[in-house]
Structure 1
Amino acid sequence: MTRLPVTRFVGALLLAGMTAVGVGCGGGDGHSSDPPSPSATTSTLTDTIEVAMKDFAYQPDTLTIPAGQNVTLAFTNTGAVEHYFVVGDTIASDNDSFEQNLFSGISIEKNKQTGGHEESEEEHEEEEGSHENVFELPPGGSGTMTFTLPPEKAGMYTIACFETTGEKKHYELGMEGALTVTAPTN
């Protein structure tokens, strides 16, 4: 039996409870005479987006992430081989990484469940090597990557898997996608 991390379970319960309160506490005609306070419009909850890594695709292959909000990407590798989740701008000339990784300089909390045990790590600085800020999972693995992107990261990026099967990178076999970081609304 797979156990969900307590924080995801509690977060889901809080979200469900807040939704019920929001629906149940409407003011008769659905309009309020008081404008929302700044604290009411600022979300401290984490948005969770589920992503499946398959042979050789991401599902979904198009993601939208709001800048300035805490976001968790929840991954499962349903494929038969190891897969990477890397986001950047332009594939480097060595075809093994991006010229600029979206997560460079971003604090990322990673949790992985692989081979029956859980790994947890926080990355506050870039890792060394060509695959800094990569999220990789073996077949059957799952895990999460939690982060907050600053507003200056708003824009369009490419998602790719740089793992190799045979003599081809997975992104060359179709394992690529798009990620849009939206600017915060004021």
Structure 2
Amino acid sequence: MGYAKIKNNYDNSKAVINKFQATSKKLVELKASIKFLLKCIKTKLIPNFIKNSIRCNKLFVFDCDPHPNIDSTLARHTHYFHTKILSLLIKHKHNILRRRKQQMEEITTELSKQLSTDDLQAFLESERNVANKPTTILKGRQELKLEGLRNKRNNIFVDNHKQEDWFVNKTKVEFPPDIKALL
């Protein structure tokens, strides 16, 4: 039975169905966000929204004679701080995910009281299929973001003034650009 028939046959369940759909959408977005952040922490990348939220460099601009190692020291401490913020954000999102899942269970229980078993199963199956499209779209966007962060990191390592012939590969192994940049 389709959404329209379910909503029309069960007048009292429209609000619960809408709540289920909204919570389902939030769950999909939250899961995708957590996956992205976990990939960032695994690859030691800091998302731009965290980098942009805290800029410490501006604190030292006004000093005419800063310490010679201030930039490297500040970069090291800032990266450590950003990594900690990223870890806390992941932990926070996991707590939200746990609450959303609990909310979904409550809504599903409420729906099971209002719908017949067959209609409920058809609705839940349809919702799983509907959730696949946003998941795929979000995954693609986040892969692009990760690739952009990797490229940005690699560009920091690569000296643009050097020629490509600086790296001589005497093996049959093809090295990815990430490894070449690190070397």
Decide which structure has greater helix share.
2
TM-score, with length taken from structure 2: 0.23
Decide which structure has greater strand share.
1
Q: Which structure has the greater CA radius of gyration?
A: 2
TM-score, with length taken from structure 1: 0.23
